[in-house]
Chain A
Amino acid sequence: MNNRHIYVLSAVLTLLGLGLFAYKVHVLGFPLRPQEQTQIWNIEAAVRFEPGPAAVKATLRVPSLTPGFALLDENFVSRGFGLATRNAPAGREAQWTLRQASGPQTLYYRALVYRDPTRIAEDTTPPFPAQPELDEPSRIAMEGLIAEVRRQSADVASFTTELLRHLNLAQNDPYVSVFLKRGSTVSDRAHLATVLLAGAQIPARIAHGIMLRSQPGPVEAEQLLEVHDGVQWLYFNPRTLEQGLPHDFFIWWRGDERIADVEGGSAPDVTLAVQQNLLDSMLVAERRAEKIGSHSMDFSLFSLPIATQAVYSVLLMIPIGALVILFLRNFVGVRTFGTFMPVLVALAFRETLLVWGIVLFVVIVSLGLTIRFYLEKLRLLLVPRLTVVLTIVVMLMAGISVLSHKLGIQPGLSIALFPMVIISMTIERMSIVWEERGASEAIQDGAGSLVVAAAAYVVMGIAAVAHLIFVFPELLLLVIAAALLAGRYTGYRLLELRRFKALRPSGNTPSGSTT
């Protein structure tokens, strides 16, 4: 009849739920599995120096544009120094200042870094560099070298590679020997490459960084040559000529300057260190969402106080339990006392665990029933009788707790979490069914409730499901969609196949147990 309406509605809900889900997984990096951990690196720079007699100003270049990685957190540790960070042409700088310092000083910069493939070097295309100012012989050598390299190359990438190869030959190349003295370092050659590339009208700069590997002790900063081909930055290793940004390379600062300068003190001794760590993926995702300005985090359950989060981690599972009940009732045909009573019992099972939960439930309900049958003889009015049953259920629970504690059976204590009002109502309802329709029906319905509660408990206890629902509450839209579809299921229930077996053509003879 209006089935199409329902199909459309559940399709919309499904798409909406899955869309939000996909966004959170792919863009925000929310973890799909519980306890999923993300690799992070603790990086540290320690700047040591001897202050002079006057005011001290120490500058440390700190990471800003870090393709492939993102900063999770950073802090600056110093004693008594004033601190300011600012954006400089070469990146970001931290500046510590102190009017008067005495004795050796150490300043620390620490940051947490995680891998973020979405980060690229997003700064704007640089202008063409100015011609370097060189003396006449150097200028001639440069032009000669550029002409030769240009002849052997096709584009910016091959030009750079060829240039670096020439530089690495150093003394053997007549042009290069003009610039490089014996014993030149990689960093000297990289610097020279930027100068020569400027001469060829190609923007280039040196990127200093570290390899993010877990290694004890200090690490050395390494250099890459960054060259802009008019579209994007290309990376070259000046020593090995390899092109491309190595997977583990974390760019710390750029330019010709050193990582730290100190005014009014001795030259700084800078130590860099890396330590690999694991951190809960959820924390990383949260920070990432914050960084990219997504509001999904502001309105998520993670913005709630921890205690409230704990409550919701349970409450959000109730629809899942309800879905299990829906399935068992409408598709299988199990009968229960009260529609959603089993969910509440299943919640109690979370504390008692399954076997003990069932034992305690059966004990409480059967003791309660016995007392209820006795009360029947007293002919009490309904509400007073319910009150008596409820009180007795509470007392039984307390008694069982005390007894099991004395006997050293710990699970008995958690019985306190049973939904006593619901259990009292169940006892009442069960005793009526018992009297009006007979014991077998009452026990059958009671057992049905217990089976459904156990099934709901098992499903609600799957850690992966609990995690998914809590991190992606939008998946509950799928629960609604499923319930909508189930709402139009008009086929037989599994148990009806047996109930109506007399109606099957060959059904008058009992046929084994298979249906």
Chain B
Amino acid sequence: MFGSYAALAREGVLGLNKRNGDYISRFNPRRLYPLVDDKLKTKRLALEAGIAVPQLYGVIETQHDIRTLPDIVRSHNEFALKPAHGSAGDGIVVIAGRSGNRYRTIGGDILDEDFLSHHLSNAINGQFSLGGVQDVVIVEYMVRFSQLFERISYQGVPDIRVIVFRGVPVMAMVRLPTRGSRGKANLHQGAVGAGVDIATGMTLDGVISTEVVTHHPDTTHAIAGLRVPDWDTILSIAARCYELTGLGYIGVDLALDRDLGPLVLEMNARPGLAIQIANRQGLLRRLKICEERADFGASAEQRIEFAKQEFRHPVGPVYMPAEVTTESG
């Protein structure tokens, strides 16, 4: 037991206690949480800063507003409903088609208007928010994901998670929905997480839960070796989210739209640790490298440059001079 403890420590794996005690509590001031906990605020903030987000169709704030949903989505056949305070993707419904008052979800379920308004009222009453507080529901543009991912995701919208430490993108992964995750890009439910090389945007092997997988279980295509398009834009957006929120340790979730490019879906002030398994590398090692060598006052471009140099896959142990990372970039 102590052996494996030491092994994890050597690999620089970040544990929950350390994440909470040494990073979140140190670099994420609580007063800034609402900026990321409320997806509506995040969206407005991003728009002001010129960062692309899915277009807002409307907001359902009260029980009464639920009736206005058909008006809000009159000219949109596809849209997504998201509780503004939902966590871990809870309560998100993505509608991919409509006929009359029937809606088809991206997972293929047919929902009637009744069901949808019930869901909306649950969300407004706080069923999906932390602590059950009153919530609002955002109606927004449904991301049409890029062709590339079609081969390695089953229904649903794959997304990209980038951990940004004081403005430096330190680790990234793509989350690919599976049949098991019922179209949700949620690792807890069985979605595939695949690490992404920060330096190149190339995908690595994936994991489901804690098991390594090389091929998507539903589409059977190889996961590794795909180049995520617009990688530089993704890094740039992620890095700028630090200035946007002031939070020093965040997870930025983006989706790649086939027409609009990378869009920020949401941010998370308590990003999960599964990304380490997806990258098969400890986060702590990279955080330490940042703390030792990064110039946090530098511009977003310089920070990205630093990340690309330091975090080329695979990243060696902290105490070793980073030879691997300095060969041609």
Q: Once the chains bind, are B122 and A382 in contact (CB under 8 Å)?
A: yes
For the complex, what is the distance from the CA of A121 to the CA of B91, rounded to whole Å? Answer: 80
Which A residues lie within 8 Å of B276 (CB)? Answer: 500, 503
Shortest Cβ gap from A418 to chain B (Å)? 21
Q: Once the chains bind, are A379 and B90 in contact (CB under 8 Å)?
A: no
Q: Once the chains bind, are B277 and A515 in contact (CB under 8 Å)?
A: no
Q: Once the chains bind, are A437 and B189 in contact (CB under 8 Å)?
A: yes
Shortest Cβ gap from A58 to chain B (Å)? 77
Query: Most B CB atoms within 10 A — which of A330, A503, A504?
Result: A503
Shortest Cβ gap from B25 to chain A (Å)? 9
Q: Once the chains bind, are A492 and B13 in contact (CB under 8 Å)?
A: yes
Is A436 engaged at the interface, CB distance under 8 Å to the other chain? yes
Is B102 engaged at the interface, CB distance under 8 Å to the other chain? no
B8 CB contact (under 8 Å) in A1, A379, A503, A508: A503
Chain B, residues 190-224, CB within 8 Å of chain A (1/0): the string is 10000000000000000100111000000000000
Q: Once the chains bind, are A496 and B8 in contact (CB under 8 Å)?
A: yes
Which B residues lie within 8 Å of A496 (CB)? Answer: 8, 13, 15-16
Which A residues lie within 8 Å of B121 (CB)? Answer: 381-382
Is B21 engaged at the interface, CB distance under 8 Å to the other chain? yes
Q: Once the chains bind, are A504 and B15 in contact (CB under 8 Å)?
A: no
Which B residues lie within 8 Å of A491 (CB)? Answer: 5, 15, 17-18
Which A residues lie within 8 Å of B90 (CB)? Answer: 432, 436
Which A residues lie within 8 Å of B128 (CB)? Answer: 432, 436
Is A130 engaged at the interface, CB distance under 8 Å to the other chain? no
Is B7 engaged at the interface, CB distance under 8 Å to the other chain? yes
Q: How many residues of B contact A (CB 8 A)?
A: 46
Shortest Cβ gap from B120 to chain A (Å)? 11
- For residue A331, which residue of chain B has the nearest CB? B17
For the complex, what is the distance from the CA of A489 to the CA of B19, rounded to whole Å? Answer: 11
Which B residues lie within 8 Å of A55 (CB)? Answer: none
Q: Once the chains bind, are A379 and B118 in contact (CB under 8 Å)?
A: yes
- For residue A499, which residue of chain B has the nearest CB? B210
B17 CB contact (under 8 Å) in A492, A498, A500, A504: A492
Which A residues lie within 8 Å of B273 (CB)? Answer: 500
Is B22 engaged at the interface, CB distance under 8 Å to the other chain? yes
Q: Once the chains bind, are A502 and B8 in contact (CB under 8 Å)?
A: no
A508 CB contact (under 8 Å) in B13, B15, B16, B212: B212
Which B residues lie within 8 Å of A507 (CB)? Answer: 7
- For residue A441, which residue of chain B has the nearest CB? B188
For the complex, what is the distance from the CA of A432 to the CA of B91, rounded to whole Å? Answer: 9
- For residue B278, which residue of chain A has the nearest CB? A502
- Residues 244-260 (chain B) with a chain A CB within 8 angstroms: none
Chain B, residues 50-94, CB within 8 Å of chain A (1/0): the string is 000000000000010000000000000000000000001111000
Shortest Cβ gap from A495 to chain B (Å)? 10
Shortest Cβ gap from B109 to chain A (Å)? 13
Is A501 engaged at the interface, CB distance under 8 Å to the other chain? yes
Is B236 engaged at the interface, CB distance under 8 Å to the other chain? no
- Residues 106-145 (chain B) with a chain A CB within 8 angstroms: 114-115, 118, 121-122, 125-128, 132
- For residue A436, which residue of chain B has the nearest CB? B90
Chain A, residues 480-494, CB within 8 Å of chain B (1/0): the string is 000000011111111
Query: Most A CB atoms within 10 A — which of B11, B118, B126, B127?
Result: B127
Knowing A499-B210, A504-B8, A505-B7 are in contact, say whether A383-B125 is a contact too (CB < 8 A): yes
- Residues 1-37 (chain B) with a chain A CB within 8 angstroms: 1, 4-5, 7-11, 13, 15-18, 20-22, 26
Shortest Cβ gap from A404 to chain B (Å)? 33
Q: Once the chains bind, are A493 and B17 in contact (CB under 8 Å)?
A: yes
Assign chain A's interface to a size class. 20 to 34
A500 CB contact (under 8 Å) in B13, B89, B115: B13
Is B280 engaged at the interface, CB distance under 8 Å to the other chain? yes
Which B residues lie within 8 Å of A508 (CB)? Answer: 212
Which A residues lie within 8 Å of B114 (CB)? Answer: 379
Is A463 engaged at the interface, CB distance under 8 Å to the other chain? no
For the complex, what is the distance from the CA of A312 to the CA of B153, rounded to whole Å? Answer: 57
Q: Once the chains bind, are B15 and A490 in contact (CB under 8 Å)?
A: yes
Which B residues lie within 8 Å of A490 (CB)? Answer: 15, 17-18, 20-22
Query: Most A CB atoms within 10 A — which of B16, B20, B125, B212?
Result: B16
- For residue B18, which residue of chain A has the nearest CB? A490
Knowing A381-B121, A490-B17, A491-B17 are in contact, say whether A500-B26 is a contact too (CB < 8 A): no
For the complex, what is the distance from the CA of A88 to the CA of B166, rounded to whole Å? Answer: 85
Knowing A490-B17, A496-B16 are in contact, say whether A504-B7 is a contact too (CB < 8 A): yes
Is B268 engaged at the interface, CB distance under 8 Å to the other chain? no
Is B282 engaged at the interface, CB distance under 8 Å to the other chain? yes
For the complex, what is the distance from the CA of A247 to the CA of B10, rounded to whole Å? Answer: 65
Q: Once the chains bind, are A488 and B21 in contact (CB under 8 Å)?
A: yes
Is B309 engaged at the interface, CB distance under 8 Å to the other chain? no
For the complex, what is the distance from the CA of A507 to the CA of B15, rounded to whole Å? Answer: 17
Shortest Cβ gap from B66 to chain A (Å)? 11
Q: Once the chains bind, are B16 and A502 in contact (CB under 8 Å)?
A: no
For the complex, what is the distance from the CA of A503 to the CA of B275, rounded to whole Å? Answer: 11
For the complex, what is the distance from the CA of A506 to the CA of B128, rounded to whole Å? Answer: 39
For the complex, what is the distance from the CA of A504 to the CA of B190, rounded to whole Å? Answer: 22
Is B281 engaged at the interface, CB distance under 8 Å to the other chain? yes
Is A438 engaged at the interface, CB distance under 8 Å to the other chain? yes
For the complex, what is the distance from the CA of A377 to the CA of B145, rounded to whole Å? Answer: 33
Query: Most B CB atoms within 10 A — which of A382, A488, A501?
Result: A382
- For residue B274, which residue of chain A has the nearest CB? A499
Q: Once the chains bind, are A501 and B210 in contact (CB under 8 Å)?
A: yes
Q: Once the chains bind, are B212 and A502 in contact (CB under 8 Å)?
A: yes
Q: Once the chains bind, are B18 and A504 in contact (CB under 8 Å)?
A: no
Q: Once the chains bind, are A502 and B21 in contact (CB under 8 Å)?
A: no
Shortest Cβ gap from A340 to chain B (Å)? 14
B280 CB contact (under 8 Å) in A1, A503, A514, A515: A503
- For residue A511, which residue of chain B has the nearest CB? B4
For the complex, what is the distance from the CA of A508 to the CA of B214, rounded to whole Å? Answer: 13
Shortest Cβ gap from A64 to chain B (Å)? 62
A382 CB contact (under 8 Å) in B20, B126, B280: B126
For the complex, what is the distance from the CA of A196 to the CA of B5, rounded to whole Å? Answer: 83
A497 CB contact (under 8 Å) in B5, B122, B186, B207: B5
- For residue A425, which residue of chain B has the nearest CB? B132
Q: Once the chains bind, are B125 and A503 in contact (CB under 8 Å)?
A: no
For the complex, what is the distance from the CA of A1 to the CA of B21, rounded to whole Å? Answer: 11
For the complex, what is the distance from the CA of A497 to the CA of B15, rounded to whole Å? Answer: 9
Shortest Cβ gap from B18 to chain A (Å)? 4
Which A residues lie within 8 Å of B280 (CB)? Answer: 502-503
A503 CB contact (under 8 Å) in B11, B17, B186: B11
For the complex, what is the distance from the CA of A494 to the CA of B125, rounded to whole Å? Answer: 37
A379-B114, A500-B210 given. 16 additional CB < 8 A pairs? A1-B26, A379-B118, A382-B121, A382-B125, A432-B128, A489-B17, A491-B15, A491-B17, A492-B5, A492-B9, A492-B18, A494-B1, A497-B4, A498-B210, A502-B211, A504-B8
A positions within 8 Å CB-CB of B: 1, 330, 333, 379, 381-383, 432, 436-438, 441, 487-494, 496-505, 507-508, 514-515
B positions within 8 Å CB-CB of A: 1, 4-5, 7-11, 13, 15-18, 20-22, 26, 63, 88-91, 114-115, 118, 121-122, 125-128, 132, 186, 188-190, 207, 210-212, 273, 276-277, 280-282
For this complex, 5 residue pairs linking A to B, each with C-beta atoms less than 8 Å apart, are A437-B189, A490-B21, A491-B5, A497-B1, A505-B10
Closest 8 CB pairs of A and B: A379-B118, A382-B125, A490-B18, A492-B15, A490-B21, A504-B7, A497-B4, A490-B17
